């Protein structure tokens, strides 16, 4: 069987690997001239890492990731900790794999190395796919330069502004959330004593929040700062903003946040749009995956992880279904509830981290603080349904 995968992002390469493992012949078509040159830190929770183990990616990335001690929520201005959940000593025994932080570029390099080891060089770059034909159950991907790629299965893994989705469902109708995400990475040795904690640390504030992590084996600090604003509507990994604007957005915040921004060589900026769950992910033998299928806000750190879950479950389902079209529909039924839930909780978390006014903040965060003091296991248990899933066993 032959699959053509549109997009060599995390979801596209993971699905190429998962299908190649089941004997499929693969071609990946990527619009960019080079793969994986952009991005910043990602948190990969145990549900994603279990798939990466099964795909044989771990040996290529384990010396590049960082294992945080905790997940924490802090007050952005004072740095005061609201709660913490132990992660490093809990993840393996509670959820069956580690919780790690990694640069997107390192993860993509590892996925690609594993794909090359298994299937050879199957990625064609500089190949912008503009749509597909789907006559008589044998679809073709159409490139901007006129080339056609026939396949038994076409996977649209072409990200948040998917052209495959646009043809399948109609024009995208995103709703601007009124938030933009600042992103940057800085070597830890440039931060003096203001290094971020060994945690996935969320810093909450009025109408804004930040997240700090460590990547590249702990040598680099990663910053995401999400701010309510209406002056920026561009989405993308490599869209740059002004550092002075980022500094103004986090003026008066904890020195760790201010130092990371000051020392950042570049500040990238990404407008956050909300998209409702779709009613279908496939059209015959053409199917969507990752951000193309269920774009989500980053406030649960699950977008890439869900793309990795999709990749494994899609490959498993289409390989054992009576027909490919049937396998694509069945994959949607298996995935839609979980991904729609995560989309909705991500949007809710964003609002929770941005509470305005001392009273509202107190009413939101005091119960979390109290649970963290008396029953921290309850905070761990809240994540069981996400992190505890083993997509390789569904």
Ligand X SMILES: Cc1cc2nc3c(=O)[nH]c(=O)nc-3n(C[C@H](O)[C@H](O)[C@H](O)COP(=O)(O)OP(=O)(O)OC[C@H]3O[C@@H](n4cnc5c(N)ncnc54)[C@H](O)[C@@H]3O)c2cc1C
Least distance between ligand X and beta carbon 122 (Å): 14
157 binds ligand X (CB under 6 A): yes
Residue 21 or 301: the one with the smaller Cβ distance to ligand X is: 301
What residues form DSSP beta bridges with 228? Answer: 179
43 binds ligand X (CB under 6 A): yes
303 binds ligand X (CB under 6 A): yes
Nearest to 53 by CA among 120, 123, 110, 121: 110
391 binds ligand X (CB under 6 A): no
Nearest to 226 by CA among 243, 244, 203: 203
**What part of residues 174-233 is at the interface with ligand X (CB under 6 A)?**
181, 183, 224
Least distance between ligand X and beta carbon 127 (Å): 6
Residue 41 or 327: the one with the smaller Cβ distance to ligand X is: 41
Residue 108 or 324: the one with the smaller Cβ distance to ligand X is: 108
Return the number of other C-beta atoms located less than 10 Å from residue 4's C-beta: 25
Choices 156-164, 255-263, 328-336, 358-366; region in contact with ligand X by CB under 6 A: 156-164
Residue 349 or 361: the one with the smaller Cβ distance to ligand X is: 349
DSSP 197: P
Q: Is 239 exposed, middle or buried (0-12, 13-18, 19+ CB in 10 A)?
A: middle
**What part of residues 334-373 is at the interface with ligand X (CB under 6 A)?**
none
- Using CB under 6 A, pick the residue from 163, 249, 283, 309 that binds ligand X: 163
Q: Residue 273: CB partners within 8 Å, gap ≥ 6?
A: 160, 174, 175, 176, 177, 235, 295
Distance (Å, whole) CA 293 – CA 156: 8
Least distance between ligand X and beta carbon 317 (Å): 18
Give the residue carrying structure tokens 């064609």. Answer: 124
Residue 195 or 308: the one with the smaller Cβ distance to ligand X is: 308
**What part of residues 108-137 is at the interface with ligand X (CB under 6 A)?**
128-129
Least distance between ligand X and beta carbon 69 (Å): 17
Q: How far is CA 176 from the centre of its chain?
A: 19
Least distance between ligand X and beta carbon 322 (Å): 27
Distance (Å, whole) CA 287 – CA 169: 11
Beta strand pairing call for 153-156 and 286-288: parallel
66 binds ligand X (CB under 6 A): no
Distance (Å, whole) CA 138 – CA 158: 20
Residue 139 or 357: the one with the smaller Cβ distance to ligand X is: 139
- Using CB under 6 A, pick the residue from 4, 8, 168, 210 that binds ligand X: 8
4 binds ligand X (CB under 6 A): no
b/e burial code for range 362-394 (CB count within 10 A of at least 16 → b) = eebbeeeeeebeeeeeebbeebeebbebbbeee
38 binds ligand X (CB under 6 A): no
Handedness of CA 340, 204, 368, 386 (dihedral sign): positive
309 binds ligand X (CB under 6 A): no
Least distance between ligand X and beta carbon 109 (Å): 13
Helix (H) or strand (E) holding 150: strand 148-150
Choices 4-12, 64-72, 338-346, 354-362; region in contact with ligand X by CB under 6 A: 4-12
b/e burial code for range 325-349 (CB count within 10 A of at least 16 → b) = bebbbbbbebbbebbeebbebbbeb
**What part of residues 263-292 is at the interface with ligand X (CB under 6 A)?**
270, 290-292
- Using CB under 6 A, pick the residue from 6, 21, 114, 123 that binds ligand X: 6
Distance (Å, whole) CA 330 – CA 328: 5
17 binds ligand X (CB under 6 A): no
Q: Are 11 and 307 within 8 A, CB to CB?
A: yes
Choices 145-153, 159-167, 333-341, 345-353; region in contact with ligand X by CB under 6 A: 159-167
Q: Which residues bind ligand X (CB under 6 A)?
A: 6-12, 29-32, 42-43, 128-129, 157-160, 163, 181, 183, 224, 270, 290-292, 298, 301-305, 307
């Amino acid at each position: 069987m032959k699959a053509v995968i549109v997009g060599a992002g995390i979801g596209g390469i993971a699905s190429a690997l998962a299908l190649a493992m089941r004997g499929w012949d693969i071609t990946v078509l990527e619009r960019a001239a080079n793969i994986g040159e952009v991005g910043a830190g990602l948190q990969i929770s145990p549900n994603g890492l279990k798939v990466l183990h099964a795909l044989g990616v771990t040996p290529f990335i384990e010396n590049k990731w960082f294992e945080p001690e905790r997940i924490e929520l802090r007050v952005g201005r004072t740095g005061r900790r609201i709660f913490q959940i132990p992660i490093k000593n809990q993840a393996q025994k509670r959820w069956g794999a580690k919780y790690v932080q990694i640069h997107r570029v390192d993860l993509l390099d590892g996925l690609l190395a594993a794909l090359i080891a298994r299937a050879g060089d199957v990625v064609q770059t500089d190949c912008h796919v503009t749509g597909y034909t789907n006559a008589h159950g044998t679809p073709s991907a159409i490139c901007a330069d006129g080339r056609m790629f026939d396949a038994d299965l076409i996977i649209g893994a072409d990200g948040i502004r998917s052209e495959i989705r646009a043809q399948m469902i109609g024009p995208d109708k995103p709703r601007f959330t009124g938030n933009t995400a600042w992103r940057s990475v800085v070597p830890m040795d440039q931060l003096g004593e203001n290094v971020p904690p060994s945690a996935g640390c969320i810093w909450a504030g009025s109408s804004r929040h930040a997240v700090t992590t460590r990547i590249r084996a702990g040598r680099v600090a990663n910053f995401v700062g999400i701010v309510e604003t209406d002056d920026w509507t561009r989405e993308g990994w490599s869209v740059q903003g002004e550092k002075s604007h980022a500094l103004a957005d986090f003026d008066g915040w904890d020195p760790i946040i201010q130092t990371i921004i000051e020392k950042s060589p570049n500040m990238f900026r990404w407008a956050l749009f909300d998209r409702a769950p779709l009613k279908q992910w496939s059209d015959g033998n053409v199917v969507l995956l990752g951000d193309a299928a269920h774009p989500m806000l980053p406030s649960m750190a699950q977008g890439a992880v869900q793309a990795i879950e999709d990749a494994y479950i899609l490959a498993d389902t289409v390989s054992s279904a009576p027909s490919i079209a049937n396998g694509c529909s069945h994959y949607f039924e298996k995935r839609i509830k979980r991904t729609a839930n995560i989309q909705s909780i991500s949007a809710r978390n964003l609002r929770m981290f941005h509470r305005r006014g001392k009273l509202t903040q107190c009413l939101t965060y005091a119960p979390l603080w109290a649970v963290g003091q008396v029953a921290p296991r309850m905070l761990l248990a809240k994540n069981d349904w996400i992190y505890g899933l083993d997509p390789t066993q569904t």
